[in-house]
Amino acid sequence: MAQRKVITTQVAIMGAGPAGLMLAHLLAKAGIESIVVELRSHQEISETVRAGILEHGSVNLLVDSGVSDRVLREGDRHDGIELRFNGESHRIDFQDLVGESVWLYPQTDVFLDLSARRKADGGDVRYAVKEATIHDIEDAPKVWFTDEEGVDYELQADFIAGADGSRSHCRAQIPEARRKRYFHEYPFAWFGILAEAPRSSAELIYANSANGFALISQRTETVQRMYFQCDPSEDANNWDEERIWDAFRSRVNGNGFEVKEGPVIEKTVLKFRSFVQAPMRHGKLFLAGDAAHTVPPTGAKGLNLALNDVKVLFDGFDSFYSTGSTALLDAYSDHALGRVWKAQQFSYWMTSMLHTAADADDFSRARQLGELRSVVSSRHGRAYLAEAYTGWTGER
């Protein structure tokens, strides 16, 4: 093989999802160089349908760091959600309970805003590379990759940020003896659809029923995003429109509420689990976002956690390059994991409280309804949910 072309930077970033691009953006603003390396093409990332809720802290990061204020103009501010069970809806009023809101703004748009900003600022982002691997993470980190034209590179950097998503190559390079993996599997998955229909509701509805969970979310005036609980082994092709709408009707309709139906233009089965790899740092490699942790989608925390990691990691790099101190970089993993485990708890709790296990006995079902009532009938219960959903502030 011809020799690799050597290029250098301060921080090599693996992955051009929201975490990698946000890190590159913050570093650039602080005068710190980075090169982002990504296996997927720009188009492939833009076409992936992902979740859509941003905590106020995530919105502030996008707006205050100058990525874009499109989220404020085109996103929808939501001041609450509804929990629906026993055929009745109960509003969790975020503004009243904790004085905060969330924004419905799909992850794809966050990616488009960030990639447009990197491009406008002359950022170096290499999409659609082949065979990107990391080496010598303990002392002289480098990334080997082949670009779209087939040129082989060795990218040498002071540090590597591993923001390469849930199938991370980076996290697997941390020696087994030096890391721990935490897993939790759930006996259900989500069947997600995009449908051409008007909004069924102004706010998100998280519905529990004896037939399983369903989530009514939105996208635009004419296209909606919704999910219902299914078995992880389900094949989306076995579901025609009638069967899909029947699943929604039997989980959310009743007492004057009816889901608004229309042509289904996208359908997928989304499998999920809880996962954490700790610590989130080894030598000169720092993991961020899905590379280090995944949560079930019920708490809408995935993207928000990734952006929080990046904020903490950026502070570490900024402090190192401006003062030479590694104190914040050394504290990165513990600091980020504090929020990660709160989000794991919240996502696990929302998932177990709202889904119905196929083998649930009468006791489990009645206990679950007791749990839901104890949340909605108490200001403290509602406030716990509201604080977690909109994003914790203050102490970790």
Which residues would be at the binding site for ligand PHB (CB under 6 A)? 51-53, 204, 217, 225, 297-298, 300
Among this protein's residues, is 335 annotated catalytic? no
- In the complex, what is the shortest distance from the CB of residue 77 to ligand PHB, in angstroms, rounded to a whole number? 14
Q: Which is nearer to ligand PHB, 159 or 213 (CB)?
A: 213
Q: Which is nearer to ligand PHB, 206 or 239 (CB)?
A: 206
Structure tokens given for 97: 């309970």
Strand, helix or coil at 16? coil
Query: Does 321 qualify as catalytic in the annotation?
Result: no
Angle CA 128–129–133, to nearest 5: 140
Burial class (CB in 10 A: 0-12, 13-18, 19+), 138: exposed
Min dist CB 6 to ligand PHB, Å, is: 42
Q: Are 304 and 55 spatial neighbours (Cβ–Cβ below 8 Å)?
A: yes
Q: How far is the CB of 293 from ligand PHB (least distance, A)?
A: 16
For ligand PHB, the closer CB: 159 or 389: 389
Tokens found for residue 262 = 């229309």
- Judged by beta carbon, residue 53 or residue 61, the one nearer ligand PHB is 53
Q: Cα dist. 300→50, 103, 105 in Å?
A: 11, 11, 12
Single out the catalytic residue among 105, 186, 227, 389: 389
Cis peptide before 279 (omega within 30 of 0): yes
Q: Which of 105, 127, 297, 332 is catalytic?
A: 297
Q: How far is the CB of 52 from ligand PHB (least distance, A)?
A: 4
User: Which of 127/346 has CB closer to ligand PHB?
Assistant: 346
Q: Would you call 297 a catalytic residue per the annotation?
A: yes
Q: Which of 105, 153, 206, 227 is catalytic?
A: 206
* CB closest to ligand PHB, residue no: 217
Marked catalytic residue, from 56, 78, 142, 282: 78
Q: Is 119 a catalytic residue?
A: no
**What phi, psi does 82 have (nearest 5°)?**
-115, 135
* 371/12 Cα distance (integer angstroms): 46
284 catalytic? Reply is no
Residues 230, 81, 335, CA angle at the centre, nearest 5°?
85
Active site residues: 78, 206, 297, 301, 389
